[in-house]
Amino acid sequence: MRSWLKITCRKLYRDQQGGVLVLVALMMVVLLGVTALVVDLGRVYAEQSSLQKALDASVLAGAQGLIKKETQTQTQAEAQAISYAKDISKKNSYILNDSDIKVTSSYIKVSKEVSVPMTFAKVIGFNEITFSKEATALIGPLGSSIGVTPIAVEKKNIPDGKELKCSNTGNQRGNCGYLDIVGSGATTLADGIRNGVKIYVKDEVKFEFDTETGQKWGPVKSAFEHLIDLDKNKLHCQSKSTADKNCKRVITVAVVDTFDYVHGKDTIEVVGFAAYWLSSINNGQKSVRGEFINMIGLGEISENGQNYGTYVVKLTD
């Protein structure tokens, strides 16, 4: 009896051991399959992220091409935008075709479909996974900014005006175009020229600011000279054709309809913004020489605002 039990127990143990081996083998297949899927899906996720970043960079570059130069037509600007977008995408290892790009005067949109070949997932019938991504960049007039020089210019002077002059305040009833946004006085005005001030202009809202009267030429001249001096070692800032928003001598000024109705300390409505490249200071004439330029600035887009050469580019969902 005792021998029979020993033989039976040994047989059961051997049978169970074989079952465990089968179960372990099956679990290994499942674990390998899950691991394979994780590896392949990880590749897909990485490719999706890479493609999205590439498309975002492409539309941001393309939007800059939409800024027309003086001699360009809108068609030429749009062609330039497409060229910029393709170039950046190619540098990021993705080829964009014309059919992948849609461009208008106010936005550029790109989309791209990509297939990622599978390695391990082929055993369960997935040879590749195909997905698409898109990106859109809006371009519009600057509607608000945190670095505006507290000086206003009449819109009739854009883009051909060459001078910000304060030799005779009587021409504008005591005004040189200065704005009192954060406080009055020569010191506050000069500080605003050096560092910029916040101006928020929202759609369908009338924004008026106080004017700052008087010449205040000494502090104003010093402030502008300070900005020009900060760019002395920046070669691209020395020419209006290559200067950009990173140049201190490129300032953003407020645009107004006219000073004709302004009498001394008064209020005036800001209707937009313009970018002005500082060329030189003429102390004898109490004037700043320079030129208006087209520029992408920092701030918010005004959907219904007037454009005077300052643009904002924004990625949108």
Top pLDDT among 253 and 118 is at 253
pLDDT band at 299 (very low <50, low <70, confident <90, very high): confident
Angle at 305 between CA 240 and CA 152, to 5 degrees: 55
- Predicted confidence at residue 35, as pLDDT, reads 65
Q: What is the pLDDT of residues 84-117, one digit of tens each?
A: 999 999 999 999 999 999 999 899 999 999 998 8
Which residue is associated with the tokens 């003429």? 282
The two tokens of residue 61 are 């570059």
One domain for residues 84 and 146 = no
One domain for residues 122 and 148 = no
One domain for residues 171 and 235 = yes
Tell me the residue range of the domain where 174 lies. 142-316
Q: What is the pLDDT of residues 15-64, one digit of tens each?
A: 555 555 555 555 655 565 666 667 777 888 899 999 999 999 999 999 98
Q: How remote is the C-alpha of 300 from its chain's centroid? A: 10
What residues contact 276, with CB distance under 8 A and at least 6 apart?
A: 153, 164, 250, 251, 252, 253, 290, 291, 292, 293
One domain for residues 148 and 58 = no
One domain for residues 301 and 236 = yes
One domain for residues 267 and 153 = yes
Q: What is the pLDDT of residues 134-157, one digit of tens each?
A: 999 999 888 888 889 999 999 999
Given a contact cutoff of 8 angstroms between Cβ atoms, the answer to whether 43 and 114 are in contact is no
What residues contact 74, with CB distance under 8 A and at least 6 apart?
A: 68, 105
One domain for residues 74 and 150 = no
**Residue 161 maps to a domain:** yes
Tally of CA atoms within 13 A in the half-sphere of 174 that contains its CB: 11
- Examine the fold and report which residue of 60, 95, 126 is the final residue of a domain before the chain moves on: 126
Provide the domain count of the chain: 2
Q: Is the pLDDT of residue 4 over 50?
A: no
Average pLDDT over every residue of 160-184 = 85
One domain for residues 116 and 148 = no
One domain for residues 103 and 196 = no
Given a contact cutoff of 8 angstroms between Cβ atoms, the answer to whether 180 and 270 are in contact is no
Q: How far is CA 204 from CA 152, 161, 300, 302, 306, in A?
A: 20, 28, 15, 10, 12
pLDDT band at 228 (very low <50, low <70, confident <90, very high): very high
Helix H or strand E segment including 211: strand 208-213
**Residue 25 maps to a domain:** yes
pLDDT band at 12 (very low <50, low <70, confident <90, very high): very low
Q: Is the pLDDT of residue 2 over 80?
A: no
